[in-house]
Amino acid sequence: MCGIVGYVGKRNSQDILIDGLKKLEYRGYDSAGVAVYTTDGLQVKKSKGRLAVLESKLGEKPLSGTIGIGHTRWATHGKPSDENSHPHTDNSFKFSVVHNGIIENYLALKEELIAQGHVFVSETDTEVISHLIASLYEGDIVKAVQKAVSRMKGAFALGVLTEYEPDKLVAVRLSSPLIIGVGEGENFIGSDIPAILEYTRNVYILNDGEMAALTRDGVELMTLEGNFISRELFHVDWDIVTAEKAGFDHFMLKEIYEQPKAYRDTMGARLDASGEKVVLSEIGMTPEQIRAIRQVHIVACGTAYHAGLVGKSVIEKLARIPVETDVASEYRYRAPIITPETLVIVVSQSGETADTLAALREAKRSGARVLAITNVVGSSVAREADDVIITWAGPEIAVASTKAYTSQLIAFYLLGLYLAQTLGTVDEAYIAEVVAGLQQLPEKVESILAQADTIKAIADEVSTHDNLFFIGRGLDYAVALEGSLKLKEISYIHSEAYAAGELKHGTLALIEDGIPVIALATQDELFEKTVSNIKEVKARGAHVFGIHAEGDAELAKVVDRTFAIPATLPLLTPALSVVPLQLLAYYASLARGNDVDKPRNLAKSVTVE
């Protein structure tokens, strides 16, 4: 959840740390800080609020030194405050730590350290780490960290400095992401690649249970037990420009407009030369193993869960395999029935979502095969799954996911078609028709984006309301859920999505004169029933905005305003109908004066339960 940066080299570390933290702002944070080894010893500056507050402090009293660590915090233990901000130190101010994750046994460790005479100044679990390392230090910071980690339970990524060894930076990873950047005469740590990409393209991606000792002259990789590791460097071949706004006002808007490219890239080489079949060479399942699948579980959180709801319909329709879709945070605790004949599909944009990772590991312990859909090569989900479909959406910086979600839809379409080809559940002509429809989607998204002003006008009206409803049936309901979430998380308008057929079972009591309702009606076989449900809310005074397919003139007769998406196969409409809903959320948030890219209380990558 938090952002970590570290540097050791010849340059002024303060500048590099601040620059790296700016590149990690998309992860969400409520405070920030840095620790730098200076001629006066280890010095810490930190503060509640945005990076600008910290920068102001450092502008008044800069920290000069060539080794340091930095952090942006998203509160888990203790409220946002200067005292709870990272980095944390021990009482001697000789040891400093930045931390992403949760130390589950911190209270027991804290009581033990207090009994030894340690005095704590914050409410955080992280401060325990700095005191624990100090208590175990005997002249070797690497060994002290190893001893401390052996006593800690939970999930964590750490950056550690000590004044006693001012040329060394120690990094640790256990269930929270951390990478090492390798430069010439300088080395880096970061929670994510954008933090260090301006300085180097060569990285080591730490695996769980690994750590590194960095000096300006080199990097030593090792296990937490101290066994040295040899690993090839990973070269980052995408440009840092992709992590910038490229002329757009916000990252979210840029990423909405990047969706046609993300669609094309995710399909990429996964279609055969004829353009009529799907090729998923990254899936290692044999035809016999695919035929042995008796059930599929799709497990994800938030927006990825909504993609999974579409994936459920796609797989069941095409492959005729029963599918359950679960929220990852609930999956383990309902004792799901998992067998070796279960295929578990985990979906995570970052590949580091804590609940999704836990579900993945539970599924593997139960003997299931796990397939991951993720946007990050080398992420925990990608490494631990048996098979991986990478969504080539590129870096997604805005907290509200757009192109990652739609790329996940493309991945599900490809997977559903691939399973159907193998099982023979759908004839080749229909598969070719769906593949052709997929290839037309990027151009159709572009035509929707060209009408953004129409959506903006609707959003300006919606932004004046405090309550809103989305309705739809079938796949339209799955998209309604995502549209409602998008609006809630960045505009702060209270919004609910309902299966339109359920309105009469209680929800109609909430419909009052003038309340906006966004109605999706793109599914041919459910169109008439959806229109009947729209009439129900209209009769009670709702102001209805309808989303339908081009060529359908009936919906305009029963709603107040409409927006037409390009015609496509009903199965593929979610990849189009969600785009105007993304724009609606963006422009409504803008009209209400909100920080679109950094919605309150939220973070991009949820790496704690």
User: Please, where are the H alpha helices in 320-451?
Assistant: 328-331, 354-365, 380-384, 403-423, 428-449
- Are 585 and 599 in contact, with CB atoms under 8 Å apart? no
Task: Give phi and psi for 150, each to the nearest 5.
Answer: -65, -20
What letter does residue 10 receive in the DSSP assignment?
S
The answer to whether the CB of 106 falls within 8 A of the CB of 131 is: no
| C-alpha dist (Å) from residue 605 to 1, 266, 564 | 6, 21, 33
CA distances from 156 to 6, 8, 32, 152 (A): 16, 21, 18, 9
- Measured at the CA of 449, the angle between CA 446 and CA 452, to 5 degrees, comes to 165
CA 234, 237, 239, 244 torsion: positive or negative?
negative
Return the DSSP state at 62. -
User: In the annotation, is 301 catalytic?
Assistant: no
Please state, in angstroms and rounded to a whole number, the distance separating the CA atoms of residues 30 and 252: 20
Q: How far apart are CA 191 and CA 105, in angstroms?
A: 23
Supply angle C-alpha 205, 207, 211, rounded to 5. 85
The structure tokens listed for 18 are 């601040």
Give the closest residue to 388 by CA, choosing from 283, 287, 299, 459.
Answer: 283
Strand partners, 31: 48, 73
Secondary structure (DSSP) of 572-585: GTHHHHHHHHHHHH
Find how far residue 7's CA is from the centre of its chain.
25
2, 110, 312, 598: the active-site residue: 2
The verdict on whether 2 is a catalytic residue reads yes
Chain centre to alpha carbon of residue 31: 20
In contact, 565 and 448? CB cutoff 8 Å: yes
Q: What Rg, from alpha-carbon coordinates, does the chain have?
A: 25
- What are the residues whose beta carbons fall under 8 Å from the beta carbon of 450, sequence distance 6 or more? none
Bridge partners of 298?
A: 325, 345
73 φ/ψ angles, rounded to the nearest 5 degrees: -105, 140
Q: Give the count of beta carbons closer than 10 Å to the beta carbon of residue 246.
A: 11
Active site residues: 2, 604
